[in-house]
């Protein structure tokens, strides 16, 4: 194997949202940039290749399935459509940086201060750079239980190509990934059992919201089992048997949705003194600087919220260190919204009423089932009137403190509410707003009219 040197102003390890955006922006200033990716199937990052985009594409396909559609055949067509979409996005992301930065396919490892050796198919490339950005992301965790590596035991990436289609699926874990896949496969026609190790779904949400989500999943055919802890997974002839504390569940396939772990173990972080936490995530300050001079960590690998839009904002924070005034930080983030793409989508932003009270607010609260919001006909028009909407408001200032939107279009509506929180908008301004009709935004006219003191 040959070894060749390469010196650049910026080295980016990992092709995620923050890394690819920084690489393109920095190269546009006339600086030299190199970008390393170990897997060509991940050009563009986790989101577009195996997470946000492909899974939401499958959700949309699942929602469109008719009862007369054969589950196995329909799923195969949906996967083919998914692959065509992702193949195009992957190629477009590569084309976006081809000729702009030096692109290296290979495994990167720190071998000295501001030095990384990249093992490629054509030999090692020793890269030195004034600034280095680590954005290697995270991958699905595999639990240390017997049977976790058996055939047809999937993670959130591999189940997207499940073959054959599982008529019976057990989902282990009821976080947002488990909820999304349980909902999706139920819509595709599978008999789904969701194993939740906790006493209730969504323990951080308002009880009325958690119950509404469970009710919708149950009506869709998902069997939810609480306090269900898996002891092992076994093969039993042609099926898999998931062993629980007191009984077991049989299935054609099992999805392990128990969180994600950082891709850091092979980076040689100890060589340059980059500190990690007990889970392996890189420790950063509020400017995303690591403990090594000139090295930043962005995206999922730094242990922050694992959302692609957070990775995009990580790019802004680091860019301000590279080319700005260096004042932007992660502490600037206020009212960051999040959505779990079940059907309808579940979106949340800000504080729940209990959190608001704990923070010292005198709280007004409103909660209303979507089917009973007369000002909001859109869910009925599109045939999905499930869900509930809640708001938390400061009683003294009447400013919005938080909201949960379990309804059609909530992934869009939550952004308006997040902006209202950041701008200090009052409940009355939203309540009396003039919104297009029929739209989901009209829920604001109905729900906020029913604010009352929060009793807890």
d(CA 174, CA 194): 7
Helices (H), 155-242: 176-188, 207-219
d(CA 349, CA 332): 16
d(CA 303, CA 221): 35
Q: What is the DSSP pairing of strand 295-297 with strand 153-154?
A: unpaired
- The residue assigned the tokens 């009396």 is 432
Torsion angle of the four alpha carbons 206, 210, 213, 219, in this order, in degrees rounded to the nearest 10: -140
d(CA 92, CA 40): 12
Q: Is 254 exposed, middle or buried (0-12, 13-18, 19+ CB in 10 A)?
A: buried
- Spot the catalytic one: 94, 122, 361, 437: 437
Residue 437 catalytic?
yes
Q: Is 6 exposed, middle or buried (0-12, 13-18, 19+ CB in 10 A)?
A: middle
Residues belonging to the active site: 437
């Amino acid at each position: 194997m040959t070894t060749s040197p390469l010196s650049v102003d910026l080295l980016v390890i990992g092709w995620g949202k923050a890394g690819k955006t920084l690489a393109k922006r920095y190269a546009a200033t006339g600086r030299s940039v190199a970008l390393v990716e170990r897997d060509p199937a991940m050009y563009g990052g986790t989101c577009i290749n195996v997470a946000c985009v492909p899974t939401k594409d499958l959700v949309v396909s699942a929602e469109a399935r008719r009862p007369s559609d054969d589950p196995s055949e329909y799923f195969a067509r949906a996967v083919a459509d998914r692959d065509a979409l992702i193949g195009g996005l992957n190629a477009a992301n590569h084309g976006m940086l081809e000729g702009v930065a030096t692109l290296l396919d290979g495994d990167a490892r720190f071998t000295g201060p501001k030095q990384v050796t990249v093992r490629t198919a054509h030999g090692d490339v020793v890269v030195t750079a004034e600034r280095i950005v680590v954005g290697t992301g995270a991958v699905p965790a595999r639990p240390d239980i017997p049977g976790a590596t058996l055939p047809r035991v999937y993670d959130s990436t591999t189940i997207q190509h499940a073959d054959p289609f599982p008529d019976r699926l057990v989902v282990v874990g009821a976080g947002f990934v488990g909820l999304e896949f349980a909902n999706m496969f139920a819509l595709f026609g599978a008999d789904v059992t969701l194993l939740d190790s906790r006493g209730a779904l969504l323990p951080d949400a308002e009880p009325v919201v958690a119950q509404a989500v469970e009710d919708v999943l149950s009506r869709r055919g998902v069997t939810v089992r609480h306090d269900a802890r898996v002891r092992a997974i076994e093969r039993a002839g042609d099926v898999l048997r998931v062993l629980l504390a007191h009984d077991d569940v049989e299935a054609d396939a099992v999805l392990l949705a128990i969180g994600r772990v950082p891709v850091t173990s092979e980076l040689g972080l100890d060589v340059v003194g980059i500190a990690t936490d007990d889970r392996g995530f890189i420790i950063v300050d509020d400017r995303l600087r690591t403990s090594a001079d000139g090295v930043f960590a962005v995206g999922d690998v730094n242990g922050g919220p694992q959302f692609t839009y957070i990775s995009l904002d990580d790019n802004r924070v680091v860019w301000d260190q590279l080319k700005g005034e260096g004042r932007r930080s992660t502490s600037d983030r206020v009212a960051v919204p999040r959505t779990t793409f079940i059907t309808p989508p579940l979106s949340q932003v800000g504080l729940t009423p209990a959190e608001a009270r704990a923070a010292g607010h005198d709280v007004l609260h409103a909660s209303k089932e979507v089917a009973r919001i007369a000002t909001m006909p859109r869910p009925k028009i599109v045939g999905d009137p499930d869900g509930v909407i809640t708001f938390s408001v400061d009683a003294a200032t009447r400013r919005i403190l938080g909201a949960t939107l379990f309804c059609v279009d909530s992934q869009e509506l939550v952004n308006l509410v997040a902006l209202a929180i950041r701008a200090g908008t009052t409940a009355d301004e939203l309540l009396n707003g003039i919104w297009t009709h029929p739209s989901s935004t009209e829920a604001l006219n109905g729900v906020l009219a029913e604010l009352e003191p929060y009793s807890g």
